[in-house]
Chains A and B, each alone.
Chain A
Amino acid sequence: MAKLEASDAVVFGISIDSPAANNAFAQKIGVTFPLLSDMNRKVLKEYGILKMYNVQKEEYDWAQRTTFVVDKKGMIQSVEEEASAINPNNAVAVCTKLPKK
């Protein structure tokens, strides 16, 4: 995370969980960046990453694990779909290469 600060970036985790659940989760895993709640799945829809998960024959739409890097102009610099837990290292590498201004 120190590397990320050096690359002039902020990190947000985003899921459909409530702020209360996210806060408990943040404390449990000790993350230092904010976790955002997309409870009505609005952002997931806009970013096109709602995914159907089948759990005991019922379908649930949650996020496809994806990491976006957005530069200072608001432009997407990279999109990466992750098979397992989020790994921010690649995003850090992308940020480090971005121009400082």
Chain B
Amino acid sequence: MRSMRLKTLVFAAALAAGLIAGSIRAQEEHKVTHTSLKAGDMAPDFTLLDNQWKQIHLSDYRGKKNVVLAFYVLAFTEG
């Protein structure tokens, strides 16, 4: 009887572990969005605040610099 209870406990623990692993995986699964922009297209202009609250206009760099736009998911994550 005791081993039966132990088996149930082990089964429950395994199930819980599986559920937790599943929920972690769920965070990684998402609908993938692909940009329709491609090489040769004009980059849409934008005005955004930088981390010093200064406005940055993409168009200000026209004729001056190449611009690398690195979109990242969230600050304080692995990027």
Q: Which residues of A contact B (CB under 8 A)?
A: 4, 7-17, 19, 21-26, 28, 34-38, 42-44, 46-57, 62-79, 81, 84-86, 88, 91-92, 95, 98
Contact = CB atoms under 8 A, between A and B. Distances in A.
A47 to B, nearest CB: 6
B27 A54 contact: yes
A-B CB proximity, top 7 nearest: A85-B79, A25-B75, A9-B66, A23-B51, A34-B50, A22-B51, A36-B48
A28 B38 CA distance: 33
Interface string B27-48: 1011111111111111111101
Instruction: Give the interface residue-count category, chain B.
Output: 35 or more
Contacts of B67: 9-12, 69-70
20 contacts: A9-B67, A11-B68, A14-B72, A24-B75, A25-B76, A34-B51, A37-B49, A46-B46, A49-B35, A64-B33, A65-B71, A65-B73, A65-B79, A68-B68, A69-B67, A70-B66, A72-B64, A75-B40, A81-B34, A85-B72
B41 A76 contact: yes
A38 B56 CA distance: 11
Determine the main DSSP class of B at the interface with A.
loop
B59 interface: yes
Chain A, interface SS category: mixed
A51 B64 CA distance: 32
